[in-house]
Amino acid sequence: MTYACTTYPSPVGQLKLVASEAGLAAILWENDREDRVKLGTMTEQPGHPVLAETMHQLDQYFASERTRFDLPLDFRGTDFQKSVWAALLTIPSGETRSYAEIAAQIGRPTATRAVGAANGRNPISIVAPCHRVIGSDGSLTGFAGGLEGKKFLLALEQQAN
C-alpha cells in the first residue's frame, strides 16, 4: 500500500501527516523513532483530501478554535492497540487520564504497562490524544513529541476550554 503524505509546520515542530485511502493513518513527529510507527511507501500529496482537511483542523486546533477532530481515521495495529487508541478518543480536551484508568476503561485493569506501550505506538498523535495520558501520580510521562511538546499541547487545551 502506498500512503499519501505531507509536512505540516506546527507550533510543536514539523509534523508528517500520512493518509491511506481509508483515512488519516499517522501524524509523525519531526524526531520520531523510525520504528515507532511502521508504514509502507509514502508519496508527497499535500492536496490529498484527508491531508488537506487534517491541516485545516490542526490549524483550528492550534488557534484554540477546535477541541475535537472530525476526521476519518485508519488505525493500523493489533486489536489491543486499537482498543487503547479508541479509548484515547474518549478523553475530553482539557482533561487527562492515567494509564491505569485507560486499562480499566478497556476492561483490562491489570494491563497498565501494555496500555503504556500501546499509547507509545499511537500512530495518530494529537488527533488521538495520547498526550492526555499521564502517570498515576499526575506526572508527565514519555511522549513521542517530547515532554515539552506534551506540556505545550496540554496547556493549549487548558486555555481553549
Residue 130 annotated as catalytic: yes
Catalytic residue, chosen from 103, 126, 130, 134, is: 130
Instruction: Provide the angle, in degrees to the nearest 10, between the axes of the packed helices 112-120 and 79-88.
Output: 80
| Number of neighbouring beta carbons within 10 Å of residue 45 | 16
DSSP sequence for the chain: -EEEEEEEEETTEEEEEEE-SSSEEEEEETT--TTTS---EEEE-TT-HHHHHHHHHHHHHHTT--SS----B---S-HHHHHHHHHHTTSPTT--EEHHHHHHHTT-TT-HHHHHHHHHT-SBTTTS-GGGEE-TTS-----TTHHHHHHHHHHHHHHH-
Active site residues: 130
